[in-house]
Copies of this chain bind each other. A is one copy, B any other.
C-alpha cells in the first residue's frame, strides 16, 4: 500500500509567499480603489536589457531552421556557457574548469537537490532566518537540522557551529537580511568545514549586488574553499532571469570529504544531473551567453545599479522616520526592525493597512526573523518612491 512521505507533515503549514498573496488579495478586494505597493517578494520588474533580448531571440531563431536546431543538449549545460562562466570567474581571480560548472534552471532547484548527493543522515546547519528552500527541502528529506542564529548582535552573520555538522547552507549577500559576509567571516566557515570534513553550500545568487570591492562575491575567493564548498549561482537577480530560469552550481573537483577521492563528488553531482535533470532551456542558455558578453555585462550592471538606487531610497526613507534598518548596501534586501516590539505579521498588517505596502514578514524566514520585515528593492523606482512616501506619510508609529 502506497503511503505519503510523512516528512511533509513536518513542514510549516503554508508557504510564506502564498500567505502574503492571500492577505494582499483580501486587502485588495476590500479596498478595490487603493493602489497596493508591493515591496514583498524579491521578484525582478524591469525589462531584460537589449543585449540579452538579442541573445534570446537568437536562441529562438536557431530552433526555426533544421541546420541550427538543437534538441537535447548536455544535461550539464552548453559547453560554450560553461566556458564563458569559467572565464567570468577568472576575471575575478577564481580559477575553475568548465567541468566544475553545472548549468541549472536556476538556483532554487539545485539548492533543494544538492543535499541528496550526501548521506541521508547528514546533519544540516542552516541559518535562522533563512531562505525557506534550504530548510523545507531538508525537512521533506527527513534530515536533522540545526540552526545558526543570525541576530542583530552579530550583524546577522552567525558564527560557525560549535560541534561537528555535515552540511552548512550559507547565503551571502543574504536573503532575507541583506547582510554580507566579509572575507574574515567567510574564512572562519571555510576553516571550520576543512577541520570537520563538512561541506558548505554557498548561495551567491546576489553576488552582483556587492559594490564594496573588499567583500567576496564568490566563496572561492577564500583560500581552501574549493576543497570544502559548493557554490550556487543564478542569472535571476543579476540579469532579470527570474522567469527565464537559468543558473549554475559549482562543484569543484578538489571538493573532498574523508573517504572520497578527488573529483568524486563532482562526478556524483554529474551523475545526479545527467540522471534526474535534462538541462536548462537552450533558449535561456543562449540568453545566458548574452548576459556574459561585454555588452550584456555593461547593460545588466546598469540595471543592478538601478535596483540598488531603490534600496538606498528605501533605507534612507525608513531611517528618516526612525525605523531601524539593516542591509540594502551590498544587497537588494532591506531588513527592517519592527517598531514598538510588534511581531512581524503585526507590522506586515500595519504596513499593508496604513501605507498599502506589501512587505515580507521576517518570521516567515525563521523564528529569529520574528520582529523584522523584509523589503525588496526589485520594484520600479516609481513604485519604490511611492511606497516610501506612503510609509512616511501614513504609517503611525
| Chain A residues in the interface with B (C-beta under 8 A) | 1-6, 8, 11, 15, 18, 41, 43-48, 50, 53, 56-57, 60-61, 63-66, 69-73, 105-106, 108-109, 112-113, 116-122, 132-133, 136-137, 140-142, 164, 166-167, 196-199, 240, 242-245, 257-260, 264-265, 268, 271-272, 274-284, 378, 380
Contact = CB atoms under 8 A, between A and B. Distances in A.
A226 B143 CA distance: 32
Given A60-B57, A198-B1, A283-B281, A137 B70 contact: no
A4 B276 contact: no
A279 B271 CA distance: 23
Nearest to A168: B2
Contact of A118 (B2, B112, B113): B2
A189 B114 CA distance: 35
Contact of A57 (B57, B117, B244): B57
Given A5-B116, A63-B243, A108-B277, A47 B69 contact: yes
**Which of A65, A264, A275 lies at the interface centre, i.e. has the most chain B CB atoms within 10 A of its CB?**
A275
6 contacts: A53-B64, A72-B242, A112-B276, A116-B140, A133-B276, A244-B282
Contacts of A5: 116-120, 268
Nearest to A70: B243
A12 to B, nearest CB: 10
A9 B70 CA distance: 33
A228 to B, nearest CB: 9
